[in-house]
Amino acid sequence: MLSLASTLVARAARMFQAAYEEPSLWTISAHGRVVGSLVCEAGEWRISWFNGADPRLLSYGGRVDGDVDALATLLSERLGAPVRLELLPV
C-alpha cells in the first residue's frame, strides 16, 4: 500500500511540475545505469543521451512533453526493458 501511495505522490509531483512549466530535470536510466537526461525549461522539452546509451533509445524521435510516464513507457517498449525517469530537485 505504501508503494502505491508513493507512486501516486511521485506522479502527481511530476504532473504539477510539468503543468507549471517550472525548470525541471529528470535522469533516464536503463539496465541499472543513467543513460540520459530529460530537461524542461521555459516550456521547451529536450532529451540528451549520454555516451554508451543504447542505439534504440538514441533513435527515438517521437514527441517529448509533460507526460514523463508515457515517455518512460514508450522508451521501455523501444528498448524491450524497463526505462525509468526520475525527477531531480532543481
pLDDT tens sequence across 13-50: 555 555 555 789 999 999 999 999 999 998 899 999 99
Question: What are 37-90's pLDDT values in tens digits?
Answer: 999 998 899 999 999 999 999 999 988 988 999 999 999 999 999 999 999 986
Distance CA(22)–CA(7), nearest Å, equals 21
pTM reported for the whole predicted model: 0.75
Which cell numbers hold the place of 55? Answer: 542505439
HEC letters along 20-31:
CCCCEEEEEEEC
